Structure 1
Amino acid sequence: MVSDLVSIWNIRTSERSYTVNYDVKEWVSSLPFSKPEIEILPHGIDVPELLRQTEQSVGSTSEHKFILCYVGSFKDYHCLQPLIQAISRLREDDYDVGLSLVGTGPELNSIRKAVEQHEISSATTFHGFVDPSKVPKYIRSADASYGVIDPERTGSPMKVYEYLANGTPVIATSGEEFDFIEKEQIGVLIEEPTSKAVVNAIKAIYNIPESERSEMEDRVRDVGYKNGVTWAEFANRVITE
């Protein structure tokens, strides 16, 4: 592809290379004539105020005891089908879990059908496209957020950092970039995006007492600030090195 050729040319002619994760670093390292200095700079976010967020979570007006939020594009690699199946299984087991879906995308209709087929329409809200400035409100109204991607896909979801910056525990795909999530006890990582794995991840957060969950929200923000970086901060770091 043209984009790959451009990337290879840039890598070979640069003094230093930066990659978004370990998989890309390995690819860059495998290229002939690639420079030995390769540093990982994970995805940043474009909304600095998210990382500086200090206000408390917005109280949810939901009738459900626990709300799980997803924000982003409706695409296969975001593994929304296992999420729908997991919510259905949890509700069958009397877990009062509601689902808040923010965004749109090519798989929106299939997700709507899956919600109907699994009979969780009454527990699911499709908010559609939301102005980016208003997205934090939806994240902070949730008890946890979903940032799982297909582990075969190279890359990491920027939404995970945005979730953390807004104080919600996260469910994400296991990987070295996100090791800090379990180390700091601010979410759950899963190896494979199966409905069973998602069920267990949601249960782990659902069963945390509300008093401890409130304390966790403050810890999540602190960790989000410490580990999340904006694109502007990345650029300044590259320029000054």
Structure 2
Amino acid sequence: MTAAGEASPHDPPGAAPDGEDALDRDPSADPLSVLFVSPMDLSGRSGGNVATKEIAVAFARHHGVELSLVCPRPADALPPGLTDGAERAWFLPEKPAGTMEWHARSQLPTLRAHAAAERAVDPDLIVARVGPSSVFTPLAALVTRTPYVALIRGMVGRNLKFGTVVDALVRANALAADETYVAYGEIADRYGLGEDATVFPNAVDPERFQPMDRAEARERIDAPIDPGDFVVGFVGSLKQRHRVGDLLDAVAALPDGEAVHVLVVGDGPQRDALESRVADAGLTDAVTFCGYVDHDELAPYVGSCDATYGVVDADNPSNPIKCYEYLACERPVITSATDELGFVAERDLGVALDRVSPETVADAIARLRSLDDDALAEMGRRGREYVVENHTWDRLADAVVATYRE
């Protein structure tokens, strides 16, 4: 435990020590022209799309930044924070989901977009979400001698056919960058970046994820929750690495009469298998599959929960954005004891598991279930206070701008 006035070892760069305000912003400084380059559809549904959109919006609302965009033409309209906040946008071809061909087809349009941006806005800084198509962005920064910040938010080459080539490209971006920010330490390890990378974990927009009264939240969603149910919620894509099966098996193993209800919010390739698992275990009345819910509409679903679930698969390292959103909604979290999420145990904001299994998840549920409403509410309040102070997307924008100003 760190002493008051010191930053926690789990705090991201730019985090305010306890009792201090956020980073000061100099209102007299000239606006910084930032070109934000993304291979992600900023109107897309995936976690990567949402996180990238949130980062771009944080730069757009930073009063010291004039933001321009290079990104795929959105399948839907750009989010309001970018429609209103970005000065200019150069669109790459629309990006279909789940295709690698787009990354090849986008190369020439990316080069043209950089040339157009250089003529139109002459950016002071290029910030890019690094992806499989990030070829010309570091070259453009080098040729124009523009400072370059690389954001590596996941294992880019993982599970890709040409993963080795993609990983080499990601490493080249990191080496070319003036600053590299990664979402968790294993990314730096994978690409051999060592101390050349700064770990800035995922974050949340606390204005979007506000705490709600539990009873009111449950009235706003379509789920058969009994008044006495202890609700454990999961939000995200239904993929193996999110270990939703362990949550369902944990509930099946709880003693009869525990009155635990699981709220599964999301869709994905495992949904049919998980629904069959629930039926086979006789848990149909104890589990609700809500399907996909738009990111802007998630708060009532999280607010309906007593506890939340967002763990890390040991074979697929990650830093679940959902955990920060849960905490912003003042809900305790069951997660994994990773370096980035170590603050959960340190600050008593839920349960951090050393190992994910049905048994450890069941124990975590039982521990939280044993707390009274006041204790859970206090745990939730501490969680929101902590993430608002230390894990917002605005802090990432602050850190990048502050580094450039220095």
Q: Normalized against structure 2, the TM-score is what?
A: 0.54
8 Å CA contact 2:188, 2:194 repeated in 1: no
Cα gap change, 1:6/1:236 in structure 2, threshold over 3 Å: closer, same or farther? farther
Which residue matches 1:173?
336
- Summarize the alignment of residues 132-151 of structure 1 with structure 2, pairs less than 5 Å apart: 132-151=295-314
Q: Decide which of 226, 230, 233 is 2:389's aligned counterpart.
A: 226
Range with bigger deviation, 93-102 or 215-224: 215-224
SS at match of 2:258: coil
Task: Answer yes or no: is 1:102 the counterpart of 2:260.
Answer: no
Task: Tell me which amino acid in the other structure corresponds to 1:80.
Answer: V
Which residue matches 2:235?
71
Which residue matches 2:37?
none
Cα gap change, 1:98/1:234 in structure 2, threshold over 3 Å: closer, same or farther? same
Q: Distance in 2 between matches of 1:66 and 1:152?
A: 30
Which residue matches 1:84?
248
Q: Distance in 2 between matches of 1:93 and 1:227?
A: 40
Task: Tell me which amino acid in the other structure corresponds to 2:200.
Answer: L
The alpha carbon displacement at 1:240 in A equals 2.2
Q: Distance in 1 between matches of 2:232 and 2:354?
A: 19
- Higher relative contact order by CA 8 Å / sep ≥ 6: 1 or 2? 1
Q: Distance in 1 between matches of 2:314 and 2:389?
A: 25
Task: Answer yes or no: is 1:49 the counterpart of 2:207.
Answer: yes
Q: Decide which of 32, 38, 59 is 2:197's aligned counterpart.
A: 38
Q: Distance in 2 between matches of 1:55 and 1:101?
A: 19
Task: Tell me which amino acid in the other structure corresponds to 2:401.
Answer: I
Task: Tell me which amino acid in the other structure corresponds to 2:399.
Answer: R
Which residue matches 1:20?
183
Task: Answer yes or no: is 1:115 the counterpart of 2:274.
Answer: no
Cα gap change, 1:58/1:194 in structure 2, threshold over 3 Å: closer, same or farther? same
Cα gap change, 1:192/1:224 in structure 2, threshold over 3 Å: closer, same or farther? same
The alpha carbon displacement at 1:235 in A equals 3.0
Q: Percent identity of the aligned residues?
A: 27
- Alignment RMSD, CA only? 1.9
The alpha carbon displacement at 1:39 in A equals 1.1
Q: Which runs of 5+ in 2 are unaligned?
A: 1-162, 220-224
The alpha carbon displacement at 1:236 in A equals 3.4
- 1:190-228 Cα deviation digits (max 9, x unpaired): 122110000001011000112222222222221221232
Q: Decide which of 227, 235, 239 is 2:397's aligned counterpart.
A: 235
The alpha carbon displacement at 1:57 in A equals 4.1
- 1:113-152 Cα deviation digits (max 9, x unpaired): 0111111101111111112222110001100000012122
Task: Tell me which amino acid in the other structure corresponds to 2:167.
Answer: D
SS at match of 2:352: strand
The alpha carbon displacement at 1:36 in A equals 4.8
Q: Distance in 2 between matches of 1:36 and 1:139?
A: 36
Task: Tell me which amino acid in the other structure corresponds to 1:186.
Answer: L
Which residue matches 2:174?
11
Cα gap change, 1:150/1:35 in structure 2, threshold over 3 Å: closer, same or farther? closer
The alpha carbon displacement at 1:179 in A equals 1.1
Cα gap change, 1:93/1:159 in structure 2, threshold over 3 Å: closer, same or farther? same
Cα gap change, 1:237/1:204 in structure 2, threshold over 3 Å: closer, same or farther? same
The alpha carbon displacement at 1:54 in A equals 5.2
The alpha carbon displacement at 1:48 in A equals 4.7
Q: Distance in 2 between matches of 1:117 and 1:222?
A: 41
Q: Distance in 1 between matches of 2:308 and 2:368?
A: 10
8 Å CA contact 2:212, 2:303 repeated in 1: no
Q: Which runs of 5+ in 1 are unaligned?
A: none
SS at match of 1:114: helix
Q: Distance in 2 between matches of 1:6 and 1:189?
A: 34
More helix by share: 1
Question: How many pairs were matched up?
Answer: 233
Cα gap change, 1:223/1:236 in structure 2, threshold over 3 Å: closer, same or farther? closer
8 Å CA contact 2:328, 2:384 repeated in 1: yes
Q: Distance in 2 between matches of 1:149 and 1:96?
A: 26
Q: Distance in 2 between matches of 1:198 and 1:181?
A: 15
Q: Distance in 2 between matches of 1:58 and 1:96?
A: 17
Q: Decide which of 194, 199, 204 is 2:357's aligned counterpart.
A: 194
- 1:90-109 Cα deviation digits (max 9, x unpaired): 1x442110011111000000
